[in-house]
Structure 1
Amino acid sequence: MPIPAPITLNELHAFVADGVLIRRGMIPDGLLQPAAHLVDAWMREHYDPARLTAYTNQTFAPDLASHPDLLGLFHDSGLHELVTQLLHPAPTAPVTTAQVQIRLPDGAEQPVKAMHVDGVSCPHLHPEDLNTFTLIAGVVLSGSATGDAGALHYLPGGHQRMARYFAEEWTRGQAAQTPHDIARQDGTALTARPGDVIVKHHLVPHRVGINTSPVPRVMAYFRIRHADHARLAEAALTDPWLEYPGLAALAAEAHPGS
């Protein structure tokens, strides 16, 4: 199993400030290619165009969620160890499923999501329901490395604004997922190549744009939860570092009085 390079102090400061950690070329071809081929075969043999909206809102290839080739991207690449470094010393719940997200080339009439935070006021959930997590790890499986090719767009530092929003403006059950000043922003595009990894704080708002390239953009995502997330979930919406005890002091230094 590959051992990831230890997270540097600069990376920790950047994660506290931006809510994002990116590692280029982290996934070796021996793990990347089987997963990419698995999803490609599913698209050719099992994809149902009538379910495009459901796939986009939840996951493509739902029957592959627990496939070893997908889970190996997280458990056998060193990505699990990288995430553990960020959350240390907090324990994490087991990661047993993957989410596959595909942005099809322009013309597929695929829904375009607005800037949002996962699991809160989602249109496919009951308004009162929360389906949140602590952080998410995404692996690029295939696609063009340009910002207009179905890339993930995220708002660096947006976790601080979202925490204030959830504390001061949001009420459970409302339809709005983000405040107006967040919703209207385009965000920063993840211009990444296959094998690149992004680890993102749950509260960082994000969206996915259209894909103007001729090839699909395929990502595999893994949701990581603090072992006690079920109890902490609602409080964690207003306290970005509640589930990151090792980073709480660093965050307090960066944002005194917040």
Structure 2
Amino acid sequence: MAPAPFTPLELRRFVTDGVLIRRGLVPEQILGPAARRVSTWMRHEYDAARLAGYTNQTFAPSLARHPDLLGLYHHSGLHELVTQLMHPAAAAPVTTAQIQIRLPDSADQPAKDMHVDGVSCPHLHPEDLNTFTLIAGVVLSGSATSDAGALHFVPGGHQRMARYFASEWTLGQAAQTPPDIAARSGTALTAEPGDVIVMHHLVPHRVGLNTSPVPRTMAYFRIQHTDHHRLAERALADPWLEYPGLAALTEQPTSHP
């Protein structure tokens, strides 16, 4: 059954905050198989020597195209919600999942700084862009507390980042965010398994330490406008270029940075 669409109030909140959370979207019959796949991979295939690489790219790379992981996006209703946000623009097909795990009390997995994905990343060439239109994340497991490896984001920060990319940043620049954003601690995504988040690509975010006793596991899907390869650099400075249906809502005043 298709999920209830985002309400007009939620769409305005996405324009203002850049983030929406839908609690309990993914049912157990879809969530459970995906979570068990990742748990099995951790028990039998995880290589501690590759932790930095997993953290920078993805855990369980062999599961990136597994139907159980892709089902989190295609069969839970998440695809329909993403389609609504981008309408009437179309999204490119989603064919891979990224799995991120924050391990409990791991000294080898430090907190991440505020950043925007795919721009000036330490593991990319300085002039490479690996951006997208929005990210959708599903909580697979973990404690719903702010200190359990949660994603921390800056509500409304996409507007500040668009100004930064338009006037203060050049391709190849090392700094990922301006100082006023880098200094922010962000709002923690305190979420239960089955909850989902959709977040505008330009929303700055970081990941904290996991001081809980259990791993926090997320499955992420990076969604691109079908013409993202052509629009990517312009979209850094124009946050609604790839969301034509939401353009009218941007005329309302906001109080965010």
What TM-score, normalized to structure 2? Answer: 0.97
Letter in 1 for 2:105: D
Using the TM superposition, give the Cα deviation of residue 253 of structure 1 relative to its aligned residue in structure 2, in angstroms: 3.1
Match of 2:184 in 1: 185
Percent pairwise identity: 77
Q: What does 1:147-158 align with in structure 2 at a 5 Å threshold?
A: 147-158=146-157
Runs of 4+ residues deviating >3 angstroms = none
Matched positions, count:
254
SS of the residue aligned with 2:83?
helix
Match of 2:72 in 1: 73
Q: Does 1:23 align with 2:22?
A: yes
Letter in 2 for 1:131: N
Deviation string for 1:33-84 (max 9, x for gaps)? 0000000000010001111111101110111100000000000001000000
Distance 2:41 2:130 in 1: 26
RMSD: 0.8
Distance 1:144 1:128 in 2: 37
Match of 2:128 in 1: 129
Q: What does 1:53-72 align with in structure 2 at a 5 Å threshold?
A: 53-72=52-71
Distance 2:222 2:158 in 1: 17
Q: Does 1:119 align with 2:110?
A: no
Q: What does 1:154-173 align with in structure 2 at a 5 Å threshold?
A: 154-173=153-172
What TM-score, normalized to structure 1? Answer: 0.97
Using the TM superposition, give the Cα deviation of residue 108 of structure 1 relative to its aligned residue in structure 2, in angstroms: 4.3
**Is the 1:56–1:111 contact (alpha carbons within 8 Å) kept by the matching residues of 2?**
no
Using the TM superposition, give the Cα deviation of residue 252 of structure 1 relative to its aligned residue in structure 2, in angstroms: 2.4
Q: Does 1:245 align with 2:253?
A: no
Distance 1:6 1:163 in 2: 27
Letter in 2 for 1:143: G
Deviation string for 1:225-257 (max 9, x for gaps)? 0000000000000000000000011112336xx
SS of the residue aligned with 1:21?
strand
Q: What does 1:213-228 align with in structure 2 at a 5 Å threshold?
A: 213-228=212-227
Q: Which runs of 5+ in 1 are unaligned?
A: none
SS of the residue aligned with 1:211?
coil
Deviation string for 1:188-242 (max 9, x for gaps)? 0000000000000000000000000000000000000000000000000000000
**Is the 1:138–1:197 contact (alpha carbons within 8 Å) kept by the matching residues of 2?**
yes
Distance 1:108 1:46 in 2: 21
**Is the 1:53–1:111 contact (alpha carbons within 8 Å) kept by the matching residues of 2?**
no
Distance 2:86 2:40 in 1: 35
Q: Does 1:174 align with 2:173?
A: yes
Using the TM superposition, give the Cα deviation of residue 132 of structure 1 relative to its aligned residue in structure 2, in angstroms: 0.2
Distance 1:225 1:78 in 2: 18
Distance 2:107 2:138 in 1: 23
Using the TM superposition, give the Cα deviation of residue 150 of structure 1 relative to its aligned residue in structure 2, in angstroms: 0.3
Using the TM superposition, give the Cα deviation of residue 14 of structure 1 relative to its aligned residue in structure 2, in angstroms: 0.4
Distance 1:120 1:78 in 2: 29
Letter in 1 for 2:78: L
